[in-house]
Each structure stands twice: as structure tokens, then as C-alpha cells.
């Protein structure tokens, strides 16, 4: 059974720092992996989607990497801003299933 | 264009009451998913529709939970005889081809 873990559960850093959020999964037979952002009282916003054949995806200050063999993905945020404060979740879709299996998220606070 | 919308955004129910949560997916999206998100956790899959057909309801926690999508567009998640453990945010997502899901803002249900 696929399990997704995100470490740390919470992170607080000063504005301007580069940071890395981690996501690990137990079954490497994945179809894709997505990183989402969740703001309080709002829905989930998809940030990056990495297909199983890809190693990384970039969007603006965000870069997500995928290492299937080790069961890991990282989300790199460059030059963090207070507006980046949110909970970041990763979700994995397995080969044989359309369901998304989610981590519990990392709550990120960027201090001005 | 319009995204996924959900109503109501907030619902307070007394234990034992029935509730109905509505999801309006993006027009033309064939797939529709319901998730339950407890506080501090990632979402958990409840059920999946392809057009009007409910193809997977394996995530529904009990027979008190019922979902429908009679015309292949709007979906309703109904919870009968609500219990305190049903308190959560209920998220709806739609997708054109199941590869990338677009989420609504969710309905926060509080059972008192």
C-alpha cells in the first residue's frame, strides 16, 4: 500500500531564503507526482506535476525534482516571500490507480 | 474561466442531522472526485465518477455516506445521521482526463 510522508511538518524561515520541502513515498511504481499549495479556507492549487518519466519540473521560483528509485521528491523554493506562506502537500498517483495518495503537508511560514 | 465551485462553504450540523454538499465541476470535465480532509492531514479519497457513473466508492467510510452525479455534471455528497467524526473539509475535484485534478475551495463541515 502506497504511503506518502512529508518532512518537516512545519517550517519557519526568514524572507529571502531558499528552502527545500521533502516528500517520500514507499512504492516507486508511480504514474505521476504533484505538489499542491493550500491556503487557509481555500482549495488546493496545483503547483507542479511531474510525470514518472521526468526528473524535474520548474515554474518561476519553484523547482520540483523526482527520484523514483529512492522514492523521493523535493520542492525547492527560491528567494522565499511572505506570500509563499501556506501548507504544501505532495500527492502521488500510482500506475494502476487514478486515486491520489497524499502526504500530510508541510506548513510553511515565511517571516518578513 | 470558472473553476470548481462548492456549496455551502461552511456547514454546521447537529449530530444526527443529514447534510448535502454540492460540487459544480469545470464544464466539460468527465471525471469528478470527492475527498475528505481532517484537520492537519492530507485529503483522503472518498469516491470517483466518470460522467454519471460512480466507478469507485471504496473510500466512503460508512453506509451513511452517499454520492451521486445524475446528469454527469453537478455532484452531491450526502451524509446521513452525521457524527462528530464526520467533521472535516470535503473537497471536490474535477478532471478532463484524470491526469490532473482541479480542486474546489471545499466545504468545512462541523458536527456539534
Low-confidence residues of chain A, pLDDT below 70? 96
- Which residues in chain A have Cβ-Cβ distances shorter than 8 Å to B106? 42-43
Q: Which sign, positive or negative, has the C-alpha torsion A45, B49, B45, A41? A: positive
A-B CB pairs within 8 A amount to 51
User: How confident is the model at residue A40, as a pLDDT?
Assistant: 83
Residue B38, helix vs strand vs coil: coil
Q: What is the pLDDT of residues B70-104, one digit of tens each?
A: 999 999 999 999 999 999 999 999 998 767 889 99
Q: Which cell numbers in the block locate residue B89?
A: 473539509
User: How confident is the model at residue A19, as a pLDDT?
Assistant: 95
Q: What is the pLDDT of residues B29-68, one digit of tens each?
A: 999 999 999 998 999 999 999 999 999 999 999 999 999 9
- Expressed in angstroms, the distance from the first to the final Cα of chain B is 37
- Which residues in chain A have Cβ-Cβ distances shorter than 8 Å to B4? 43
**CB-CB under 8 Å, B105 with A43:** yes
User: What is the Cα–Cα distance from B53 to B30, expressed in whole angstroms?
Assistant: 10
User: What is the Cα–Cα distance from B86 to B65, expressed in whole angstroms?
Assistant: 10
**CB-CB under 8 Å, A46 with B100:** yes
User: How confident is the model at residue A41, as a pLDDT?
Assistant: 74
User: How confident is the model at residue B12, as a pLDDT?
Assistant: 98
**CB-CB under 8 Å, B103 with A43:** yes
Residue positions counted in chain A:
112
Indicate if the pLDDT at residue B1 is higher than 60: no
How far, CA to CA in Å, does A25 sit from each of A61, A108, B17?
Answer: 24, 21, 38
A60: left (phi over 0), alpha (psi -120 to 50) or beta: left
List Cβ neighbours of A72 (8 Å cut-off, separation of 6 or more): A22, A23, A24, A25, A66
Average pLDDT, chain B: 94
Q: How many CB atoms lie within 10 A of CB A65?
A: 18
Q: What percent of chain A has pLDDT over 90?
A: 87
User: How confident is the model at residue A96, as a pLDDT?
Assistant: 66
**CB-CB under 8 Å, B42 with A105:** yes
Amino acid at each position: 500500500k502506497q504511503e506518502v510522508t512529508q518532512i518537516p511538518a512545519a517550517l519557519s524561515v526568514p524572507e529571502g531564503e531558499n528552502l527545500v520541502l521533502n516528500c517520500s513515498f514507499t512504492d516507486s511504481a508511480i504514474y505521476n507526482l504533484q505538489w499542491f499549495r493550500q491556503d487557509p479556507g481555500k482549495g488546493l492549487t496545483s503547483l507542479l506535476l511531474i510525470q514518472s518519466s521526468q526528473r524535474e519540473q520548474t515554474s518561476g521560483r519553484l523547482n520540483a525534482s523526482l527520484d523514483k528509485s529512492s522514492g523521493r521528491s523535493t520542492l525547492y523554493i527560491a528567494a522565499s516571500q511572505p506570500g509563499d506562506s501556506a501548507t504544501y502537500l505532495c500527492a502521488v498517483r500510482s500506475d494502476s490507480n487514478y486515486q491520489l495518495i497524499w502526504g500530510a503537508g508541510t506548513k510553511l511560514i515565511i517571516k518578513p | 474561466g470558472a473553476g470548481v465551485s462548492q456549496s455551502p462553504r461552511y456547514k454546521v450540523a447537529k449530530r444526527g442531522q443529514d447534510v448535502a454538499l454540492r460540487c459544480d465541476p469545470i464544464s466539460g470535465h468527465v471525471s469528478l472526485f470527492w475527498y475528505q480532509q481532517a484537520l492537519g492531514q492530507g485529503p483522503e479519497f472518498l469516491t470517483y465518477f466518470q460522467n454519471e457513473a460512480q466507478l469507485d466508492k471504496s473510500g466512503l467510510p460508512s453506509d451513511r455516506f452517499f454520492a451521486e452525479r445524475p446528469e454527469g455534471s453537478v455532484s452531491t455528497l450526502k451524509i446521513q445521521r452525521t457524527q462528530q467524526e464526520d467533521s472535516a473539509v470535503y473537497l471536490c475535484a474535477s478532471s478532463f482526463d484524470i491526469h490532473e485534478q482541479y480542486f474546489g475551495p471545499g466545504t468545512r463541515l462541523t458536527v456539534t
